[in-house]
């Protein structure tokens, strides 16, 4: 399991890959407002975990395991955020803070049940299709949810 700090680096790298098509140390440092040496340290720690591939001064490539974990982190945050904001009616800022705090502390089983509950309560889609955060079933449901926020 990666630390919260490494999780943020991984998430940022995933987002950069989706936005620009490649990941560079400079881009990560700029996006996270940190130094290049701290990015390099995180890169080597994530590489040791098997989450990315990197050769000095090259581009950073997320492994399948790294992409899967980054997606899971983002999806779990989104599900928790929706629950706090739209079900519990917390203010946007408070919902963001709470979702950030718990996103990696919930088990997959809890997230799957929470996702089904959130979608049912909000009347979006029936997730009786065996939604599983690890298998990315019902991605269209999640995308539809994001556009309605």
**What's the number of domains the chain is made of?**
2
* Per-residue confidence (pLDDT) for residue 36, from 0 to 100: 94
Same domain for 51 and 84, yes or no, is no
Task: Write out pLDDT tens, residues 81-138.
Answer: 888 988 899 999 999 999 888 877 888 888 888 888 887 777 655 444 445 555 544 4
How open is the CA angle 7-42-109, to the nearest 5 degrees? 20
Give the CATH number of the domain where residue 45 resides.
1.10.10.10
Where in the sequence is the domain holding 133, given as residue range(s)? 69-148
pTM (predicted TM-score): 0.73
Same domain for 49 and 85, yes or no, is no
Task: Write out pLDDT tens, residues 8-58.
Answer: 899 999 999 999 888 999 999 999 999 999 999 999 999 999 999 998 888
Same domain for 35 and 76, yes or no, is no
b/e 51-61 (16+ beta carbons within 10 angstroms → b)? bbebeeeeebe
């Amino acid at each position: 399991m990666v630390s919260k700090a490494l999780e943020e680096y991984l998430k940022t790298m995933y987002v950069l890959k989706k936005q620009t098509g490649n990941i560079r140390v400079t881009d990560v440092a700029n996006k996270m407002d940190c130094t290049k040496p701290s990015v390099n340290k995180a890169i080597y720690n994530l590489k040791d975990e098997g989450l990315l591939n990197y050769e000095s001064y090259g581009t950073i490539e997320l492994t399948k395991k790294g992409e899967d974990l980054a997606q899971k982190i983002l999806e779990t945050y989104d599900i928790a955020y929706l629950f706090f904001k739209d079900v519990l009616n917390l203010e946007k800022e408070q919902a963001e803070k709470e979702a950030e705090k718990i996103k990696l502390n919930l088990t997959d089983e809890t997230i799957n049940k929470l996702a089904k509950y959130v979608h049912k309560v909000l009347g979006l889609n029936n997730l009786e299709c065996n939604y599983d955060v690890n298998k990315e079933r019902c991605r269209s449901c999640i995308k539809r949810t994001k556009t309605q926020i």
